[in-house]
């Protein structure tokens, strides 16, 4: 396969089936009962800590599937993992990690997306890692679609749960009690923004599997414990945060399939008028516990993250700044990303980005039509041909985030999207390859080296 055929395949949108049903709910609840029964035998004082009230996602909110291209999936994976906790010294490989899936997908005769022969090869992929990474990407694509339908008028972006929670809780360190009380947590938060309505957030757990329904039920059972660790509301009546759980079958009957469940919960945070987004976030030192009121009027606790109402504005800023930091890191500017975070959050970025060759840097740009894009690039070989990849943001949007002017983030994003959509054909002609912009304004392009308008030196 040459690079032209590769880009055509990467840019082709195919169908990915989504499933959510009463039968799935019943199967998961029965599996949970069996798991808890076994644990009670092994440990008589075992107390279940999970969300039991799970329901199907209404069909109107997922329509039985989504249409995505492999490039959409790879971009979402890059966005989602760009500030993962694997350490600053691995930033370069982490930034471009999704490129290993360049030829891992194909469209089957029924128009559904599935793994290609190379995507199924154990020579190229460890199945457990592939399931984790692609489960994240397809799961996030699915829940973003659901959230936008469920809450019309809201714009949803993503923030890594680890990154956001580290602003208030110690997730890593030498004290074992901290690690125990904060060990279980969601993977991501969907952050819902609206200029006239309170901010929303949704806890998300995304997994993937190759082996069938048994693994899937285990994943959902575990997910009910992990999303249950986030609660909001007063201490005398904390409520579970809203959540969505997905399990992606990479070898489904129709191709790649995403199974979804919807646990209980409500996630309204602060009204925009009460949130000073440009104000820095004060690092907190909360203990990892959620109050559990008892019938006798006393209160015990369970492990997790409790957010009382007086901290809604604070957590709203945390979520927005964490999401903005991930966008800056995607464009290669980890230094400015670190400036949006607390000291504990910023520790995952480290200082290795200061050393050339140890990380990615926002060090190049290009003007396509009249849209200026700034970011970072990577050159590699694909079947003997040199290929160039570029991750970036529109310059005005980048400068808005770099300058920590988050009050004007939405204005800059909308302006960038309008300019992109009005000049899409000219932008693609100037790039001379495959290039896309997502709803957050992030841009990812790939082309044969030496074609199109060159990047800045």
410-456 pLDDT per residue, tens: 999 999 999 999 999 999 999 999 999 999 999 999 999 999 999 99
Q: What is the pLDDT of residue 274?
A: 82
- 275 plus 386 within the same structural domain: no
Whether residues 306 and 369 share a domain: the answer is no
For β-strands 200-209 and 243-249, DSSP reports them as parallel
Helices 395-402, 409-422: axis angle to 10 degrees equals: 170
**242 closest CA partner among 54, 61, 19:** 54
Say if residue 259 is in the same domain as residue 120.
yes
Tell me, what's the pLDDT at 351?
A: 66
Q: Are residues 304 and 375 in the same domain?
A: no
Residue 343 covered by a domain: no
Distance, CA of 212 to CA of 248 (rounded, Å) = 10
Considering the domain architecture, whether residues 305 and 390 belong to the same structural domain is answered as no
Residue 230 within a domain: yes
Which pair of tokens denotes residue 247?
Answer: 């399990």
The verdict on residue 321 lying in a domain is no
Are residues 365 and 303 located together in one domain of the fold? no
Q: In which order are the strands placed within the sheet that holds 443-448? A: 364-368, 371-382, 385-394, 443-448, 434-437
Q: Are residues 288 and 384 in the same domain?
A: no
Inform me whether the pLDDT recorded for 355 exceeds 60. no
| Buried b / exposed e along 17-34 (16+ C-beta atoms within 10 A) | bbbbeeebbeebbebbee
pLDDT of amino acid 363: 86
Q: First vs last Cα of the chain: how many Å apart?
A: 30
In a domain, 172, yes or no: yes
pLDDT value at position 154? Answer: 96
Q: What phi and psi values does residue 199 have, to the nearest 5 degrees? A: -65, 145
* pLDDT reported for residue 88: 46
- What length does the chain have? 457
| Confidence tier at 265 by pLDDT (50, 70, 90) | confident
What's the average model confidence in pLDDT over 108-112?
97
User: Environment class of residue 84 by beta-carbon count within 10 Å: exposed (0-12), middle (13-18) or buried (19+)?
Assistant: middle
Question: CA–CA distance from 27 to each of 180, 216, 343 (Å)?
Answer: 29, 10, 44
In the prediction, which pLDDT does 138 show?
98
What is the count of structural domains for the chain? 2
Cβ–Cβ under 8 Å, residues 359 and 88: yes
Tell me the average pLDDT of the chain.
90
Residue linked to tokens 């990479």:
250
Domain boundaries, position 13:
3-313
Query: Is the pLDDT at 53 greater than 60, yes or no?
Result: yes
Q: How far apart are CA 256 and CA 138, in angstroms?
A: 9
Determine how many CB atoms are found less than 10 A away from the CB of residue 44: 7
């Amino acid at each position: 396969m040459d690079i032209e055929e590769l880009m055509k395949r990467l840019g082709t949108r195919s169908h990915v089936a989504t499933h959510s049903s009463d039968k799935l709910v019943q199967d998961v609840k029965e599996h949970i009962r069996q798991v808890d029964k076994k644990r009670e035998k092994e440990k008589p004082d075992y107390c279940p800590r999970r969300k039991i009230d799970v329901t199907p996602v209404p069909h109107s909110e997922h329509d039985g599937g989504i249409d995505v291209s492999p490039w959409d999936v790879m971009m979402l994976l890059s966005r989602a993992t760009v500030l993962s906790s694997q350490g600053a010294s691995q930033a370069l490989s982490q930034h471009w990690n999704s490129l290993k899936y360049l030829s891992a997908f194909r469209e089957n005769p029924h128009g559904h997306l599935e793994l290609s022969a190379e995507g199924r090869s154990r020579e190229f992929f460890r199945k457990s890692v592939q399931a984790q990474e692609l489960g994240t990407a397809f799961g996030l694509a699915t829940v973003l679609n659901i959230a936008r339908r469920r809450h019309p008028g809201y714009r949803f972006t993503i923030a890594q749960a680890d990154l956001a929670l580290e602003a208030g809780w110690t997730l890593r360190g030498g004290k074992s009690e901290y690690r125990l009380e904060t060990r279980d947590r969601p993977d991501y938060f969907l952050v819902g923004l609206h200029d006239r309505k309170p901010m929303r957030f949704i806890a998300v757990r995304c997994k993937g599997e190759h082996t069938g329904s048994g693994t899937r039920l285990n994943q959902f059972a575990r997910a009910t414990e992990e999303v249950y660790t986030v609660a909001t509301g007063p201490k005398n009546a904390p409520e579970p945060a809203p959540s969505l759980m997905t399990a992606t079958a990479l070898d489904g009957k129709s191709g790649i399939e995403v199974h979804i469940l919807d646990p209980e919960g409500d996630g309204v945070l602060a009204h925009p008028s009460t949130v000073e987004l440009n104000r820095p976030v004060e690092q907190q030192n909360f203990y990892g516990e959620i109050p559990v009121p008892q019938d006798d009027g006393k209160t015990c606790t369970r492990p997790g993250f409790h957010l009382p109402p007086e901290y809604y504005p604070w957590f709203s800023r945390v979520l927005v700044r964490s999401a903005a930091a991930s966008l800056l890191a995607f464009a290669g500017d980890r230094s400015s990303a670190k400036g949006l975070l607390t000291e504990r959050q910023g520790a995952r970025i480290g200082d290795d980005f200061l050393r050339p060759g140890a990380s990615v840097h926002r060090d190049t740009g290009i003007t396509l039509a009249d849209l200026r894009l700034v970011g970072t690039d990577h050159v590699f070989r694909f079947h003997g041909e040199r290929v160039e990849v570029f991750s970036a943001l529109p310059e005005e949007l980048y400068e808005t985030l770099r300058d920590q002017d988050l009050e004007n983030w939405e204005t800059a994003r909308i302006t960038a999207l309008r300019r992109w959509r009005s000049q899409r054909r000219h932008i693609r002609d100037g790039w001379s390859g495959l290039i896309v912009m997502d709803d957050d304004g992030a841009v990812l392009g790939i082309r044969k080296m030496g074609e199109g308008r060159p990047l800045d030196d």
